[in-house]
Copies of this chain bind each other. A is one copy, B any other.
Amino acid sequence: METSVLKFGGTSVGDFDKIRDIAGELQLRVSRGEKLIVVVSAMGGTTDELLRNASSLSHAPKEDHVALLLTTGEQQTISYLSIVLEDLGVRTKAMTGYQAGIRTFGGHMKSRIADIDQDRLKAVLKTHDIIVIAGFQGINDDLEVTTLGRGGSDTTAVAIAARCSMPCEIYTDVDGVYATDPRVYSEAHRIYEITYDEMMEMSALGAGVLETRCIEIAKNHAIPLYLGRTLSEEKGTWIMQDTQVLEKKAVTGAALDDDIIHVTLYEPQRESTLIFDLFEKFEQHDVNIDMISQVVNSEGFQLSFTVKGTDSHRLEQIFEAVGHMHPEMVLDARTGRSKVSIIGSGMRDMTGVASKAFMALQTSGIPFYQTTTSEISISYVVDSENDRQAVEVLASAFGL
């Protein structure tokens, strides 16, 4: 019996008509002999409304109470979808996070999944056609309800698929993964197959279709992951270990992060504790740094990196603290810059990608201030006023 895990987000179950449409599609698949585990989010807008209510009752509502409140949203969706499915003659079991045995650890609002009761799921599938599971939620060892934080319902679906060794289909309001954001580069191609590694780089580099943790779980358990538009005939994207494409392109996609702060620090000592002191502060303030380049030469020590634009306030605090310890430090922190990246697992085997990208940018007269490379990606810091042009130039150079 073919069994898959499907996930529908909040927009896809935004009203009762949409829930009916999805139920019809699920019934069709059941009638073709499939069994399904369906993970759903809260109906669009519900979570925000519940959060507003919580904020109206307290300036700092406690996380365990808020988590308990938010999870009612998904519980209502699974009830509604199950009522409709059953009405269509589909034998349906609805399950909240704790009923599916989704055990979590960590904070109430950003828990991680420790385990899932696969035996229970498989037993229920023997007597039911579909299990509808509330996404985004679980239960910790103290029997407290928890939520999984950003991208939580996707994580629920992928984790269940991983635990039960089933493929996972994530339905959302995009057609799939594009070689670069169609809003940035209108001629962007859709990618029908992409490797886990490429997809992880794309996600990490700002192509925000799927949280990196989801792809990581899928990769670790070799679960094929599909991303497509809800109830669409359009073919979406399969994310897998190795794509079936015979002639691989060197570059599969391009990504843009247009809200970064680009920092360069200089200290005229060759031997310095600056990097140690700085990284300790970054860790204390929970700020991620990216694109790190470091040089020591006869004149001193130089460090460049980027941080997210949203961390600017915390960055100021860090620099104030570190400045006291390193009075000779020269700081240059610039906003108005963007990170443009190209990604492709083909880079591993093919030479000339870096030089082709450099040439393309230079030829079009776009200045870039820093470059870093990973095994399957190259990133450039450019002025934000040029960032879309940079994506276009690179996308066009590599035929994305």
Contacts and interface: CB of A to CB of B under 8 A. Distances in A.
Interface string A29-73: 000000000000000000000100110111111101110110110
B62 A82 contact: yes
Among A57, A66, A69, A76, residue most surrounded by chain B Cβ atoms (within 10 Å): A57
A80 interface: yes
Query: Copies per complex?
Result: 2
A75 interface: yes
A304 interface: no
A79 interface: yes
Interface stretch (A83-91, A245-253, A289-297): A83-91
A87 B16 contact: no
Contact of A54 (B20, B53, B72, B79): B79
B72 A58 contact: no
Given A57-B16, A98-B98, A143-B99, A75 B68 contact: yes
Nearest to A134: B68
Contacts of A86: 58, 61-62, 65
Contacts of A75: 68-69, 71-72, 75
Given A57-B84, A58-B87, A87-B58, A94 B76 contact: no
Contacts of A64: 94
A19 B53 CA distance: 12
Contacts of A92: 65
A63 to B, nearest CB: 10
A397 to B, nearest CB: 52
A137 to B, nearest CB: 12
Contacts of A194: none
A43 to B, nearest CB: 11
Contact of A58 (B54, B61, B68, B83): B83
A115 to B, nearest CB: 16
Interface of A: 16, 19-20, 50, 53-54, 56-62, 64-66, 68-69, 71-72, 75-76, 78-80, 82-84, 86-87, 92, 94, 96, 98-99, 143-145
Given A61-B87, A65-B79, 10 more contacts: A57-B80, A61-B86, A62-B83, A65-B82, A65-B83, A66-B83, A68-B82, A68-B96, A69-B75, A72-B76
6 contacts: A54-B79, A58-B86, A59-B87, A65-B83, A72-B75, A72-B76
